[in-house]
């Protein structure tokens, strides 16, 4: 979504620089510090906006899919070191138990630091001031399944904001041309861990406990056996 907004921020420069929406990532991004803000409050303050002045869109992902993608990408494919992934390395059981305990501890202490692990693995429903502004967000579901359903839900919002047809075509073509640089869905590690996770009621219970608010708020079905 950040890459898409970067393209719309300055379409001409984005194209002239030879950038591709699916190739943008946090470490190499065209709009770094240009159209990025740390909070909704920051945006409203900068542009002197009232709460209803802008339309808010949030992209959400099935919690199991999101966890597996993040774990494979951050803890297996590109591990940061001993201090990351809850100090568990590639051990998914260790990670899930540690993450659940971290969440409980932060709730009890009412203290929420933004560590690397927290940003990538904490519930999405904890972000973007959703505890106060849920009714203002249009939530779009994203999936690893390349079915086009996400694009079909996104494009009407672009049209409603009068994004030119040519720009929408560029976005559609770009997003239909493969996967992001972080994609893990076709990797053998992802397939192995997904089979292990979904076949373990013990591990799935931790996933449901951690992401229960995401399942409910974003209207994703709970896994089999947890309905």
Of the pLDDT bands very low, low, confident and very high (cuts 50, 70, 90), residue 24 is confident
pLDDT at 145 over 80: no
Q: What is the pLDDT of residues 156-169, one digit of tens each?
A: 999 999 999 999 99
Tokens of 23: 């190739």
The 3-state DSSP class for residue 47 equals: helix
Cα–Cα distances in angstroms (integers) from residue 59 to residues 96, 113, 223, in the given order = 23, 23, 20
Mean pLDDT, range 45-54, rounded to an integer: 87
pLDDT at 92 over 70: yes
For 224, other C-beta atoms within 10 Å of its C-beta total 9
The pLDDT of residue 186:
66
């Amino acid at each position: 979504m950040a890459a898409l907004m970067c393209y719309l921020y300055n379409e001409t420069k984005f194209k002239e620089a030879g950038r591709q929406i699916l190739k943008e990532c946090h470490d190499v991004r065209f709009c770094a510090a240009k159209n990025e803000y740390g909070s909704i409050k920051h945006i409203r303050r900068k542009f002197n906006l009232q709460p209803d002045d802008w339309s808010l869109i949030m992209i959400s992902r099935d919690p199991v899919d999101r966890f597996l993608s993040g774990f494979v990408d951050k803890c297996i494919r590109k591990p940061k070191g001993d201090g990351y992934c809850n100090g568990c390395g590639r051990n998914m059981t260790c990670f899930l138990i540690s993450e659940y305990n971290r969440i409980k501890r932060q709730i009890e202490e009412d203290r929420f630091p933004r560590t690397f692990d927290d940003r990538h693995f904490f519930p999405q429903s904890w972000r973007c001031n959703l505890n106060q502004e849920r009714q203002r967000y249009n939530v779009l579901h994203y999936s690893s399944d390349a079915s086009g359903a996400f694009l079909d839900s996104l494009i009407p919002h672009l049209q409603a904001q009068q994004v030119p047809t040519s720009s929408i075509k560029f976005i559609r073509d770009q997003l239909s041309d493969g996967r992001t640089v972080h994609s893990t869905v076709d990797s053998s590690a992802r397939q192995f861990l997904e089979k292990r996770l979904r076949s373990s009621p013990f591990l799935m219970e931790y996933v449901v406990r951690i992401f229960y608010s995401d399942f409910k708020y974003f209207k994703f079905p709970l896994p089999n056996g947890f309905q």
